[in-house]
Amino acid sequence: LKLNKDRLAEIIRSFSGVELLVIGDLILDSYLDCLPLGVAYEAPVPLVENQNEQRTPGGAGNVATNLALLGVQARLVAPVGTDPEATQLERMLADAGVGFLPLKVRRPTPHKTRILSGKHYYLRLDEEQADPLNEDEASALEQVAQKNWGNPAALLVSDYDKGTVTPSLVRWMEGEAQRMQVPIYADLKPRTATHWQNLNLIAPNLREARELFAQLHPGDAMPKEPADLAVALSRQFSNQVVLKMSERGLLAVNRDGARCRLEALSHDTTNVSGAGDTVFATLSAALASGAALEEAAVLANIAASLAVAQQITHAVSAKELLEAVSKR
């Protein structure tokens, strides 16, 4: 697939005129950069000493941060707790230029802590309460989104299976999007996929796509080729599918079954955490700017190569993406 660099640059520059609304699970990502000291004396486990800690918005926060750095006018609606993690996320999102519209709930803000040493990944600790929002909380979240709906070119759903995306919220989002004639782009989890009826784009990774197929087609043979799997999901949802295949790149399928396969541009991946959010954000920004699916996928593939080259979760800026496009 060959695309004109000037056309890709034009799409990137048009991001600044796009407004997008993100709803989903907000997570605080912490990275502990540690010095390995050997093996602990009380048990045969690695002994490390923390040297430095970095924190970034994760989940829907990473999607919104990517959008803002790409130049998009991004608003984020998400539940958070009344804890220091929420306060820190609010500050980081404001610094990134995201219009954050929180709903305070009686549960801790999801927090993922990764323990690293150079390129070695020791452990991830998740602190969360992932039960679905109750009816009152889901209704309150709808009200926050309704009040701050604005005039988005698309609604983005970032589902990390932390309880935000409930059946009632899905019904409200689909109804509101249909009423306002706004497409829905979703990075969804298989467990909540059956809640949905009207999605314009889904962007699962390969594992999620297989789980989703198995859930929707119990007893049927799993397609052996990723392309056949993506086509099957596209037919199931009557929408566009972008399959994230990690080191194997991206596979985009249009509603008519047309396929576009893109090889990964970087195989020396320092960190894959958050790269899927970068892909999803870049795809959404490009599609909302009027790009064809193939054009959006090419830009998302380039953005992914920039994200995975960083030590921690990295939001790719419009400047970085423009420079990368000019070099290819």
Catalytic positions are 277
Cα(175)–Cα(18) distance, integer angstroms:
22
- What is the DSSP annotation of 259-273? EEEE--S----S--T
Residue 292: which residues within 8 A CB-CB, separation 6 or more? none
List C-alpha distances in Å: 21 to 39, 72, 73: 47, 10, 9
Is residue 203 within 8 A of residue 182, CB to CB? The reply is no
Rounded Cα gap, residues 103 and 108, in angstroms: 12
Amino acid at 321: L
Residue 97 CB burial class (10 angstroms; 0-12, 13-18, ≥19): middle
**Residues near 126 by beta carbon (within 8 Å), at least 6 away in sequence:** 110, 111, 112, 113
Structural contact between residues 112 and 29, judged by C-beta atoms closer than 8 angstroms: yes
Give the rounded distance of the alpha carbon of 297 from its chain centre: 14
Beta strands per DSSP E along 45-191:
46-59, 73-80, 99-104, 111-117, 120-127, 154-158, 184-187
**Residues 6+ away with beta carbon under 8 Å from 272:** 246, 308
**In terms of DSSP bridges, do strands 46-59 and 26-39 run parallel, antiparallel, or are they unpaired?**
antiparallel
**From the CB of residue 219, how many other CB atoms can be counted at a distance below 10 Å?**
5
Cβ–Cβ under 8 Å, residues 287 and 18: no
